[in-house]
Amino acid sequence: MRVHLCAVGRIRADQPERALIDDYQTRFNRTGKPLALGPLTEVEVEDRKGGGMEAEAELLSRAVPAGAFLVTLDERGKVLSSPEFAALLARWRDEGRQDVAFVIGGADGIAPTLRDRADVSISFGRMVWPHMLVRVMLAEQVYRAATILAGGPYHRA
């Protein structure tokens, strides 16, 4: 099952978030392959015309592969433990899903039109996190999920 991280904004190569995302992406691709998970790809979109959340939602919609299971990262979403998240990824894979797309909005969040289309909405807690940091957190959790499913020692709970 291919995993897509679709997000508003660009992270430059010299930003610390880029190094973290790239590291977790590499780790996930290596760990997930024997589990039929991956690769993890990242698609960055940018609203250069200043159209707001709706314009961002349109760009994000275009970034999501056709037929992909759509997961939004939103403060109103369901809060999961890491093992619960791993179990969801495994379930989606086992149900035969070819693609799952995680969508992260910009500074103002995800437009209701896109949020309402999501198959699932998850949250990293009731606090609001910077959207660039959410990308790092998601990349880490996707990697952590693969290690949980592989029975590796990374997750110690």
pTM score, two decimals? 0.95
Distance, in Å, from the CA atom of 110 to the CA atom of 102, rounded to the nearest integer, reads: 12
Give residue-wise pLDDT tens across range 6-32: 999 999 999 999 999 999 999 999 999
Distance, in Å, from the CA atom of 2 to the CA atom of 38, rounded to the nearest integer, reads: 4
| pLDDT band at 50; cut points 50, 70, 90 | confident
pLDDT given for residue 8 in this prediction: 96
pLDDT given for residue 128 in this prediction: 87
Exposure b/e, 27-57, CB count within 10 A at least 16 = b: bbbebbeebebbebebbebebeeeeebebbb
pLDDT given for residue 156 in this prediction: 82
User: How far from chain centre, in Å, is Cα 26?
Assistant: 15
Q: In whole numbers, what is the pLDDT of the chain averaged over residues?
A: 96
Distance, in Å, from the CA atom of 19 to the CA atom of 10, rounded to the nearest integer, reads: 13
Residue boundaries of the structural domains of the chain: 2-150
| The CATH number, out of the four listed (3.30.1540.20, 3.40.1280.10, 1.10.357.10, 2.40.30.10), of the domain defined by the range 2-150 | 3.40.1280.10
Least confident piece of the model among 37-41, 51-55, 86-90, 135-139:
51-55
